[in-house]
Amino acid sequence: MTVGIDIGENAAPGGGRMLVDLEELLATRLLVQGNSGSGKSHLLRRLLEQSAPWVQQCVIDPEGDFVTLAEKYGHVVVEADRSEADLVRVAGRVRQHRVSVVVSLEGLDAEQQMRAAAAFLGGLFDADRDHWYPMLVVVDEAQLFAPMAAGEVSDDARKLSLGAMTNLMCRGRKRGLAGVIATQRLAKLAKNVAAEASNFLMGRTFLDIDMARAADLLGMDRRQAESFRDLARGHFVALGPALSRRPVPVRIGTVETAARSTSPKLMPLPETPAEAARDLILAPLEPEPMRPRPERRPAPPPPPSTNDLLAELVRARPAASGETATPPSAEELAHAAQARAAAIDEILRDLLADPDAAFRSVAVLYQDFLVRLRIKRVPGDAPTLAAFKKRLSVARAGVEAGTIPEESWARAESAAADLPEDIQGVYLLLARAAFEGAPCPPDGEIARACGSRSPGRARRLVQYMESRGHVVTRADLRGQRIVALPDLGVETAPGDPAAWEEPQESGGSDLFAAG
């Protein structure tokens, strides 16, 4: 069945009424373009009114202009201020019961409009196959829902809306959905959405880029494109299988319903005396009612660390097993502290036994140290990062318990505290060698103490400490280095700076060694 929809008058000489083949329109879709005030909404309203008795309709209305169709033609107004899941369900019922609707997006911000339109169009698109009845889907201001480029909205909302519009124009025909989209500017509309329309109604436009694109769609040359500037309000150029095989001018006819928002009209200002107008504008404002202050709850305490939880479990274990907890004696406490210190020293020695441990960052070593503490079930709180760095410097210096008097080593640690953290271990290494009367450590060993493989870095560190007065270096008759530590009053024995070999991993053989 062929149904001709009268949208107005063919303005060409000898033209008559301009009829739109509705069945062909459902198969080939329509694109309407025109600047603000060119009459796009008037054209859409004329098309909707004339086709309302013949086909189910859905209008995506960003400004709420088409809700007046409900009064005369029975469209159901769907307010979009609801959840996306609700909009999907409503769209499914719309297709099932073949009810014409106007989806009003008025009052929503740009991103909410895009998400609501995407949800409703997605519900129409995903309806059951049994409900794929013909439907005219009109989207006003389509550049809002299928923008050419990203705007102020989130990428997620843009992708959802653009995907729904693409489905409508590219894949909607087989599901009975015929897209009719209107835009102010073709340059703002995504090309993959506009390219699927086979029918065009081009209204007044002024920008060169929009005129060139409109002329290209209509098969007109550049000189003919200038005519789009001269089109009056409500005048369009039509082309397409449902309209005309050649571009023809069209004057859109009258409509029976009116939009709630109309173009501004000039009207005289109210005759208000100047003093009265001043009183109206500058009258004292009524004080705003006091709002109750919301009760501020204190911030919750930070959650306990894993080490605190483990220590609490260790302390609570005797009570949980039913044993009677007795306060430990002073001797027991001292013995426990010694055992704890010995366990920590053993863990540090095992940690540094790995040849690659010297070249790992302190943060990585500290995490490994905490794991080993939990594995060994060392009681008490774990040492802080600062305490760990201090212990690590001592361990890297290779100091064995009892080999150096505690008072002398305390003076060494106090002198090292004036140096940066990454150099303290080097100073303690030299102090250990001086206290023991050992030869001066070679450059390779000094570099290893500061986490480096570069002997040059070791020499620069020694020179830095010497420039600050912490050490004094000299050479004996054989050219071997002696380092004196003025703050401690000791010096190392002569040592060869180059006498160093990289320690090798023990165990395992070279699979590729020659037999």
Give residue for tokens 């001018």. 249
Q: What is the pLDDT of residues 63-114, one digit of tens each?
A: 888 998 988 898 999 998 888 889 999 999 999 999 999 999 988 888 899 9
Check residue 314 and give its pLDDT: 59
pLDDT band at 261 (very low <50, low <70, confident <90, very high): low
**pLDDT exceeds cutoff 80 at 214:** no
For residues 28-46, average pLDDT:
88
**pLDDT exceeds cutoff 60 at 220:** yes
pLDDT band at 316 (very low <50, low <70, confident <90, very high): low
Judge contact between 50 and 43, C-beta under 8 A: no
For residues 172-200, average pLDDT:
87
Sequence-distant (6+) residues with CB within 8 A of 159 are none
Where is average pLDDT lowest: 178-187, 298-307, 335-344, 481-490? 298-307
Q: Which two tokens stand for residue 164?
A: 């729904």
Instruction: Kindly tell me the burial class for residue 327, based on how many C-beta atoms sit within 10 Å of its own C-beta (0-12, 13-18, 19 or more).
Output: exposed
Q: What is the pLDDT of residues 232-247, one digit of tens each?
A: 888 998 888 998 888 8
For residues 485-499, average pLDDT:
87
**pLDDT exceeds cutoff 80 at 138:** yes
Which residue type, as a one-letter code, is found at position 386? Answer: A
Check residue 123 and give its pLDDT: 92
**pLDDT exceeds cutoff 50 at 256:** yes
**pLDDT exceeds cutoff 60 at 317:** no
Question: d(Cα 179, Cα 389) in Å, to the nearest integer?
Answer: 70
Identify the structural domains of the chain with CATH numbers, from first to last. Answer: 4-252 (3.40.50.300), 334-491 (no CATH)
pLDDT band at 512 (very low <50, low <70, confident <90, very high): very low
The pTM (predicted TM-score) of the whole model is 0.53
Indicate if the alpha-carbon torsion angle 47, 49, 50, 54 is positive or negative. positive
- Write down the mean pLDDT value for the chain: 80
Q: Which of 126-135, 277-286, 421-430, 505-514 has the highest mean pLDDT?
A: 126-135
Q: What is the pLDDT of residues 440-491, one digit of tens each?
A: 988 888 887 776 777 888 888 888 888 888 889 988 888 889 999 888 888 9
Check residue 507 and give its pLDDT: 42
More reliable by pLDDT, 329 or 184: 184
Give the SS3 label for residue 273.
coil
**pLDDT exceeds cutoff 60 at 513:** no
Instruction: Output the CA–CA distances (angstroms, integers) from residue 335 to 175, 323, 384, in the order listed.
Output: 83, 22, 22
**pLDDT exceeds cutoff 80 at 349:** no
Taking the CB of residue 398, how many other CB atoms lie within 10 A of it?
Answer: 18
**What is the percentage of the chain residues whose pLDDT exceeds 90?**
18
Check residue 509 and give its pLDDT: 38
Check residue 404 and give its pLDDT: 74
Check residue 47 and give its pLDDT: 93
Q: Which two tokens stand for residue 146?
A: 């299928």
Check residue 320 and give its pLDDT: 46
